[in-house]
Structure 1
Amino acid sequence: MAATPINASVRYYRRGTTKVIWAPTVANKSAPSRSEINAGTALEGETGAMGGWQTTSGTVPTPALGSRFTPVVGGEITAADSSLTFWASKDGDDVRTLLQREDTGFIIWMDEGDVEGQTMDVYPVTVTSQAKVRELDAAAQIMAQFAITSEPAENVTIPAA
């Protein structure tokens, strides 16, 4: 008997689908309420680039004198340095008024859209900088950098609207 194949994915294009929310307050990162999500600010309309926003797990070797093989066990969980890059506004009325250095809150990623029953990732963060991206032949941008302050809640069910 052959092994059962993995479910076939319904592939999608991220642009126009993914939602990114800045929520200043979330009582329980493992179960944000619809009112907490709605009280946030949708960022995807001004987001031009993103970096990080993923967790990784380290390993710890567990050698034993009785074997030349060194097995490993799961170790620390870390999050990559993360950022969102936004379009700058010539009048200064842009992300700089929303995400200021040392602001704390949550970045919520709804990769498949804000769809009840789908999943989201909730990252507790502190804004660490608002770097102005200066390039000769590109539109002006502001890169907001974030410190992820505790383990993100991943694959959390999106509540009903």
Structure 2
Amino acid sequence: MPRFSRKGVTKVLFLETIAATTHIPTRAELTGATKLTKDIAAFEGFNLENEEIPTPDLESTFTSKIPGDDSAADSSLTFYEDDTSSTLEEALAKGTTGFVVVLRKGDVPTSKSMDIWPVRVASRSAAITIDNEAAKWTARFSITDTPVLDAPVPAAAP
């Protein structure tokens, strides 16, 4: 099985709206999205967690479990700060709603590797440090609805 590194392959976008009630964007919506990939310094969360339910019984000392509620892990993106533009900070202002779209295997049409996360920006803050590193800021996201996982990447425009 071929393996790959996410660096240089995975794409991350932000869309303010998606017209379809399925939350799956069209090619035109992806093309018009705010591109985040190049500015991302760290990617946290954006995965589902399940709170299993213990189901012990009197017959055994082993406690079995069944799947319970799903929830999203705490999710954030850390960006390199741009000293001439505030485009991303404006696009991801506190309270902004939209969709973080992750093309896990890159922009490969028909690949079932697109995840769409309905979000609200919960906070945005600069990371101030005196260490010898690039300036960064972090946007934390509340996942507001069930994400769409493994959706097909829309076909390229003809």
Same fold (TM over 0.5): yes
Kept after mapping to 2: 8 A contact 1:88/1:95: no
Q: Given residue 153 of structure 2, which amino acid in structure 1 is its aligned partner?
A: I
The whole-number CA distance in structure 2 between the counterparts of 1:94 and 1:126 is 17
Secondary structure of the structure 2 residue equivalent to 1:96: helix
State, as a whole percentage, how many aligned pairs show the same letter: 35
Q: Given residue 15 of structure 1, which amino acid in structure 2 is its aligned partner?
A: K
- Aligned residue number for residue 96 of structure 1: 89
Aligned residues: 153
- Aligned residue number for residue 143 of structure 1: 138
Cα root mean square deviation, aligned: 1.5
- Aligned residue number for residue 122 of structure 2: 128
Give 1:21 shift.
Answer: 0.7
Secondary structure of the structure 2 residue equivalent to 1:37: helix
Secondary structure of the structure 2 residue equivalent to 1:113: coil
Residue 113 in structure 1 maps to residue 106 in structure 2: yes
Secondary structure of the structure 1 residue equivalent to 2:61: coil
Secondary structure of the structure 1 residue equivalent to 2:28: helix
Kept after mapping to 2: 8 A contact 1:52/1:83: yes
Alignment gaps of 5+ in structure 2: none
The whole-number CA distance in structure 1 between the counterparts of 2:126 and 2:108 is 33
The whole-number CA distance in structure 1 between the counterparts of 2:91 and 2:63 is 49
- Aligned residue number for residue 157 of structure 1: 152
- Aligned residue number for residue 3 of structure 1: none
TM-score, with length taken from structure 1? 0.88
Give 1:92 shift.
Answer: 4.7
Give 1:63 shift.
Answer: 2.3
Q: 1:1-28 deviations in whole A, cap 9, x for unaligned?
A: xxxxxxx3x2111111110010111133
Residue 54 in structure 1 maps to residue 41 in structure 2: no
Kept after mapping to 2: 8 A contact 1:30/1:156: no
Alignment gaps of 5+ in structure 1: 1-7
Q: Given residue 13 of structure 1, which amino acid in structure 2 is its aligned partner?
A: S
Residue 22 in structure 1 maps to residue 18 in structure 2: no
Secondary structure of the structure 1 residue equivalent to 2:114: strand
Q: 1:18-43 deviations in whole A, cap 9, x for unaligned?
A: 10010111133453221222221111
The whole-number CA distance in structure 1 between the counterparts of 2:78 and 2:128 is 12
Q: Given residue 74 of structure 2, which amino acid in structure 1 is its aligned partner?
A: D
TM-score, with length taken from structure 2? 0.89
Q: 1:57-81 deviations in whole A, cap 9, x for unaligned?
A: 1210122334433321101111111
Compare CA radii of gyration and give the structure with the larger one. Answer: 1
